[in-house]
């Protein structure tokens, strides 16, 4: 029974939201949440797209050469600067902000550029577009 209690404590530490808990001001929980969140969204997405591209090989055709040159390097630089600046300013709490879809889409965009995957790049753009459409519709509804 003691092992179940320990498992329950670990589970609560990992997944129980408590905004007043000191675990959010230290590095362990934000790092765990960051890597768990990235891993549980990006890895299944990449696996699904790999499956679809194997099943439908035409999805991999005609990838533009300009997208494999300096663009991935610029995106890596941008993502690194954004992470470093936010972590320096907000501390460990900034890692929670990187679990928003728009930030995860930057990572999927980089992976899509590296893998030369139209589908993966498109999925990252859809993540951003859905949020923007939702905000635009909310603004329109608030006017009328």
Tens digits of residue pLDDT in 54-111: 998 887 777 777 777 788 888 899 989 999 999 999 988 888 888 888 888 889 989 9
pLDDT score of 7 more than 70: yes
User: How many domains is the chain built from?
Assistant: 1
pLDDT score of 1 more than 60: no
Q: Residue 103: inside a domain, yes or no?
A: yes
Burial class (CB in 10 A: 0-12, 13-18, 19+), 95: buried
Q: Residue 16: inside a domain, yes or no?
A: no
Residue whose tokens read 């790092």: 31
Q: What pLDDT was estimated at residue 2? A: 61
User: What's the whole-model pTM score?
Assistant: 0.77
Q: Half-sphere exposure (CA, 13 Å, Cβ side) for 64? A: 6
Q: Residue 9: inside a domain, yes or no?
A: no
User: How large is the average pLDDT for residues 111-135?
Assistant: 84
Q: Which structural domain, as residue segments, surrounds residue 56?
A: 27-143
């Amino acid at each position: 029974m003691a092992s179940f209690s320990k498992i329950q404590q670990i589970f609560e530490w990992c997944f129980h939201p408590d905004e007043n808990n000191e675990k959010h001001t230290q590095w362990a929980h934000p790092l765990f949440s960051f890597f768990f969140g990235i891993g549980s969204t990006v890895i299944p997405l990449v696996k699904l797209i790999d499956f679809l591209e194997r099943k439908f090989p035409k999805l991999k055709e005609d990838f533009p050469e300009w997208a494999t040159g300096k663009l991935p390097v610029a995106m890596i630089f941008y993502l690194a600067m954004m992470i470093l600046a936010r972590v320096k300013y907000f501390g460990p709490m900034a890692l929670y902000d990187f679990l928003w879809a728009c930030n995860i889409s930057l990572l999927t965009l980089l992976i899509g550029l590296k893998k030369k995957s139209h589908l993966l790049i498109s999925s990252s753009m859809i993540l951003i577009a859905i949020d923007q459409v939702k905000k635009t519709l909310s603004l329109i509804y608030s006017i009328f």
